[in-house]
Chains A and B, each alone.
Chain A
Amino acid sequence: MGLVSKACLLTIILLPAMLLASLVGSASENQSLFLNVYVGDVAAEKALVVGYDDNPEGLPFFNATKDLYEDGQLYAVTESLLYRDGQDLRLEFPVKGYYDEYHVVFYIPGEIELTEISCSQGIEFLSSIYDGSLVLDLQGFDLTDPVVSLDYKAS
């Protein structure tokens, strides 16, 4: 069988499967989340969360009367993600629901020492330094109730 025929056959086989998979996907209301979390100065203990989310109800910190949500775009300021115990700080970012795609980038002011990162199975992270911030890029696919927790110290 020629290469073209083989490609056509593959298309014939896989196309209906993919279309059905997408129908099944929309039926189960799959959700995506693409957010940036900008942590304020250590003293402020608040964070600005900006980005896209299909379902803000899955975000425990979301306050429908105070935060802004329009056509999937979210702007929220919250103090409920950050916990302080002396010099030790903890940032917890739990989300409820099933997410097809999950991509959260945390920007933490540079004057800190990161002591621990914990995250749900399936989430991969990459850290870097940029513009005076520690940047933690966390990404995963097909996640249920993903949780990320960062422990750090003010240095």
Chain B
Amino acid sequence: MMYVERRSMLVGLMVLLFFSFAGTGFSQPGQAPKEAGHNGQMSHDELMDQNEPEGHMADAPPCQPLGLPVDVIHSGNGFAILGNESHTLRLNVEALQPLEPMYIRKLLASNKSLAEIRDEIEANEGETIYRGSIRLDREIYPLVNLRLETPSENTTTLAADVASPGMSPDNETRIVGAIDMTIAPSEGGLIGKGDLELNGKGRYNVLLDMQPRMRERCKDNIENVSVRS
């Protein structure tokens, strides 16, 4: 048993070293990574000249809820394992205040000061809604029908359908899979574990290192800066 543990730790360290020095950019088979150009930094003109935007135009309602971002409640990065394949996986879930764009635009057109606009927006709380997405390797998938539950104080369960990266030709949201995971404290951190099922690909085991909520993180950063100065 000791041997197995030692061997596992050794393999773990090798993986760790590999990720530390080689980066985490595993490509999906058959999907070539795009060139970043000058060490990932490109001038504005170069960016504009060389890149064709990837996206989809549709005269259709949005597939995800819209609203004003009030916090990023879950943000994690790690891996999705399918058999012997390891894929990088990112996840984020934003909390949104469901405010209509027309309402915000009216506030902008009013003679109110920025502080008054903020106060009015904050007074209009409404029921928080959630929007999320995952990135598997280099493909971003919106999450729809997102369900969050807290079965115990420090544990959250997250379940959602996974939509296709673009829109279908008929402008309908196409569900291509589902994600189901539990986020709970582990070894001094916060770990997300579960399954990601993608149609035509299979069921991945998911393991994510989760970050604190963005509001807490920013507060900590500001406090740390104040302490240093």
A interface residues with partner B (beta carbon < 8 Å)? 7, 9-22, 24, 32, 34-36, 38, 40-41, 44, 46-48, 50-52, 54, 66-68, 71-73, 75-77, 94, 101, 103, 105, 107, 109, 114, 117-133, 135, 137-141, 144-145, 147, 149
* B104→A129 contact, CB < 8 A: no
Q: Is the CB of A145 within 8 A of B69?
A: no
User: Across the interface, do B75 and A101 meet the contact criterion of CB distance under 8 Å?
Assistant: yes
Contact B207 A10 (CB under 8 A): yes
The distance in angstroms between the C-alpha atoms of A24 and B24, with both chains bound, is 12
Across the interface, do B217 and A128 meet the contact criterion of CB distance under 8 Å? no
A54 contact from B5, B36, B56, B217, Cβ within 8 A? B217
Q: Which residue of B lies closest to A129 (CB)?
A: B59
Verify A121–B51 contact, CB threshold 8 A: yes
**Residue count of chain B within 8 Å CB distance of chain A:** 84
B189 neighbours in A (Cβ, 8 Å): 19, 22
A17 touches B48 (CB 8 A): no
Q: Is B108 an interface residue (CB 8 A)?
A: yes
The contact sample of 21 A-B pairs, CB cut-off 8 A, is: A14-B81, A15-B12, A15-B187, A15-B191, A18-B79, A21-B77, A34-B72, A38-B105, A40-B109, A50-B68, A52-B69, A52-B71, A75-B114, A77-B108, A77-B114, A107-B101, A114-B57, A120-B47, A125-B53, A127-B56, A133-B105
**Chain B contacts for A144, CB-based, 8 A:** 40-41
Q: Does B78 contact A (CB under 8 A)?
A: yes
**Is the CB–CB distance between A32 and B165 below 8 Å?**
no
Contact B9 A12 (CB under 8 A): yes
Contact B72 A32, beta carbon cutoff 8 Å? yes
List the A residue with the shortest CB-CB distance to B211: A22
Choice from A68, A125, A141, A149 contacting B115 with Cβ under 8 Å? A68
Which chain A residue has the least Cβ–Cβ distance from B35? A121
Q: Is the CB of A127 within 8 A of B109?
A: no
B108 adjacent to A24 (CB under 8 Å): no
Are the CB atoms of A12 and B48 closer together than 8 Å? no
Q: How far is the CB of A67 from chain B (nearest CB, A)?
A: 7
Decide: A20 near B19, CB < 8 A? Known: A12-B8, A75-B117: yes
Q: Are A72 and B105 in contact (CB under 8 A)?
A: no
CA A149 – CA B40 in complex, angstroms? Answer: 19
Task: Indicate if B58 sits at the interface (CB-CB under 8 A).
Answer: yes
- Give the residues in chain B near A18, CB-CB below 8 Å: 77-79, 207-209
